[in-house]
Chain A
C-alpha cells in the first residue's frame, strides 16, 4: 500500500493511445506489477501500460501521471472515485463517462473532455477543446452530473445536450455553447461564441463577457439572479476560483428560449446597467 501511484511517461508518444485503464478505481486495488500489465490500446492492438509508463507505487486511489500526454486519450474514463492528477496536457476524452472523484489536468485538454460525465470534478488548468462536457455526436443526452472547470478557453459546443451538471469556463467559449441543452448550467466568464443555446430546453447559459443572443430567444428583464450569487459563492469558497468581486453584484439581462423549443431555457448575459 502506498500513498500514491505515479506514472511517468518513458518516451514521446507519437501514435494515439487510449488509456481508459488509467483510473484511480483500477489502481486502488492493484500493485505495481499488476498496474504495469494493464492494457493501453494502440489502434486494434494492446500495449502493456508498463511499456509506456514507468510505474511507481500502488495500490492507491491517488494517481499522478506526468509527461507529454497530448497523444494519450481517455485518461480517467469512467472513474468513480479517487484522485487523478495529470501534470501536463492530455489528449481527447479525458474524464469521459466519469462518475465520481477528482480529475485535475495542469495543461490543456483536447476534444471531448468530460464527455457524458455523470459526477465528480474535472478541473482543467489550461484550455479545453471542442465539446467539453457534451455528449457523443448524435447522442440524445450528454453530461448528466458533476462539474467541469476549464480555467482557460474552451472550444465549440461546450455542454451540448447536457441534462444536468455544470460546465464552467473562465476564459472564452467557442460557438454553439449549450446546443441542445436539456437542463444544467454552462457558465462562461469570458465571451461566448456565436449561436449559443440553440434547441435549449431548460438549461441555463450564463455569460459574463460578451454574447450575441440568438433571435429565437426573447428578452425578459434585467435583474440580479439569486442563484448566480449562490453559484459564485460556491465557486470561490469550494473551488478556489478567484473571481471579479463585482460579479456577485452584477445584473444580468435574461432571455428566455429557445422559443423553438419550450422557451424554458435561459441565457443570462451580464449587463453594464447597475
Chain B
C-alpha cells in the first residue's frame, strides 16, 4: 500500500484503548544495584523499604530508588533471603554519597541484615563499604572471599557485613507513560494493573508511591521563576478549560507511571508489559511525557514498543 507523508498515522488500539503516536523522553542517570539480605524476608524487606523511602524524584530527594524484586536464598551471596534495590542519581559522584548515606542509615541499622553489590561486572566501582567501615571505630575487620573484600563492622547484635565496593553503571531515568481514564477509579485500576505487571521485572524500578504518580510535572513554571518543576497542567483535568489541555474529551483523570532502569531495553520491556496491562475498560488512551525530544537522549515510542519493534 502506498504511504503518503501527509496521511494521518493509523489508529492503534489495544482492547479498544488508543495508543497515542508519541514517545516518552528519558535521561541518562547513574545506577547501582544493592542486594540486602537478612535472616528472613521480613527484615530484608524492612531494610529495603527504608532504603527506598523518600526517593521518588531527584528533583528534591537527590536520588530515585525502588525495590527491583525479592531474592531467594539461592540468588544471594550469603544464602539468605534478600531484596534487590536499584538507586539512580543524575551524576556519578552523588550516587556514591547516597549509597553511603542510605546503607549507613537504613541497612546497617536494621537487624540481621548484610549488604552486597548487585552489579559485580561493573568496572566503575564506588568505595561504599570502605567508607562505612569507620563506623567500626577501629574494631572493624575485613575478609577477602572469592577475590571480593567485605567489611565486618561490629554492632550490638553481632556483625554487619558490607561489601567494600559497589558497581556503578550508566542507567536510564524517566521512562514513563500516562494512563488517561474516563474516571479516577478507572485510571487507578488500570495503573494498579500496570504496576502489578511490571513489578519484579529485571533491571527496572518504579520509584513513586505504589509505582504511580498523580502529580506529573512540567519543567519550570508559568508564574514562579524559582520553581524547577510545577504541575503538568496540560494533563490536569480540573484546569482543562483554562489551560492548553492535552486531555481528550471524556478523560477525567490521568495517572503517570515512571520507570528507571539499568538500560533502555529493560525499560522498554517493562513499559510494554505495563501498557498492555493498563489497556482495559474505562481507559480512554495511553500517552507519554516528553519535551519534544530536545532534552533526553532516550525516546521510547509507544507504538514501536507495543509492536516490539524498537527500544529507545
* Contacts from A to B (Cβ < 8 Å): 164, 166, 185, 202, 204, 221, 223-227, 229-234, 238, 248, 264
Contact = CB atoms under 8 A, between A and B. Distances in A.
Nearest to B163: A230
B152 A226 contact: yes
Interface stretch (B125-133, B137-145, B188-196, B217-225): B137-145
A230 B145 contact: yes
Interface in B109-125: 114
A227 B158 contact: no
Interface stretch (B53-61, B73-81, B203-211): B73-81
B145 A234 contact: yes
Interface in B156-200: 158-161
A230 B159 contact: no
A230 B79 CA distance: 7
Given A202-B141, A221-B158, A264-B141, A226 B146 contact: no
Interface residues of B, number: 17
Interface string B248-271: 000000000000000000000000
Closest 7 CB pairs of A and B: A226-B161, A229-B78, A223-B158, A234-B146, A227-B143, A233-B79, A230-B78
A3 B115 CA distance: 42
Nearest to A229: B78
A226 B114 CA distance: 7
B158 A229 contact: no
B23 interface: no
Nearest to A221: B158
29 contacts: A166-B145, A202-B141, A221-B158, A223-B158, A223-B159, A224-B158, A225-B152, A225-B158, A225-B159, A226-B78, A226-B114, A226-B152, A226-B158, A227-B145, A227-B150, A227-B152, A227-B159, A227-B161, A229-B78, A230-B114, A230-B143, A230-B145, A230-B161, A231-B145, A232-B79, A233-B76, A233-B79, A248-B79, A264-B141
Given A223-B158, A223-B159, A225-B159, A230 B144 contact: no
A217 B49 CA distance: 41
A58 B143 CA distance: 39
Given A223-B158, A223-B159, A238-B146, A230 B141 contact: no
Contacts of B80: 229
Contacts of A204: 143
Contacts of B161: 226-227, 230
Nearest to A239: B146
Most chain A Cβ neighbours within 10 Å, of B77, B79, B114 = B79
